[in-house]
Amino acid sequence: MNTGSKGRSEPTEAAGPTVRAEAEQPLGSRAPQYIQARKALHLSWQVGVFIVGLAVVVAGIIMLPLPGPGWLVIFGGMAIWATEFVWAQLVLRWTKRKVTEAAQRALDPKVRRRNIILTTIGLVIVAVLVAVYVWKFGITMPWKIEE
């Protein structure tokens, strides 16, 4: 009986640090060992990764005002950079931590209730504004109003 309870309690306590260690990979280059062993090849590898990541980040920045998943593409470019550059790995870790914290705060019942109330108030205000517009101008596009 003691062995069963002992076996259950020890892995539970040890699982926490192990899971964290697996979730956060060590910082540094993830290039294949063959490439890391040769300095010139590794430098050209890093330049290539930087250029590809830069192209993806620029495409994401272009998508911000245009239709498209701009922020998602920007974070994809950061992930490409994070395969080689420690600074990008640190930025992604910080971003993941902040997103996780925000998600946990958003799931708090008090915060959810507040967000639902604010959304409802906002929708009522928009509905009133639309109703006033339709009452005053009818169903006419704003650029066709002659007054």
Q: List the domain boundaries for the chain.
A: 2-107, 108-147
Q: What is the pLDDT of residue 147?
A: 58
**pLDDT, tens only, 65-99:** 888 888 899 989 999 998 888 888 899 889 889 98
Helical packing angle, 70-82 and 39-63, nearest 10°: 170
**pLDDT, tens only, 11-66:** 444 444 444 444 567 777 777 777 777 788 888 888 999 999 999 999 999 999 88
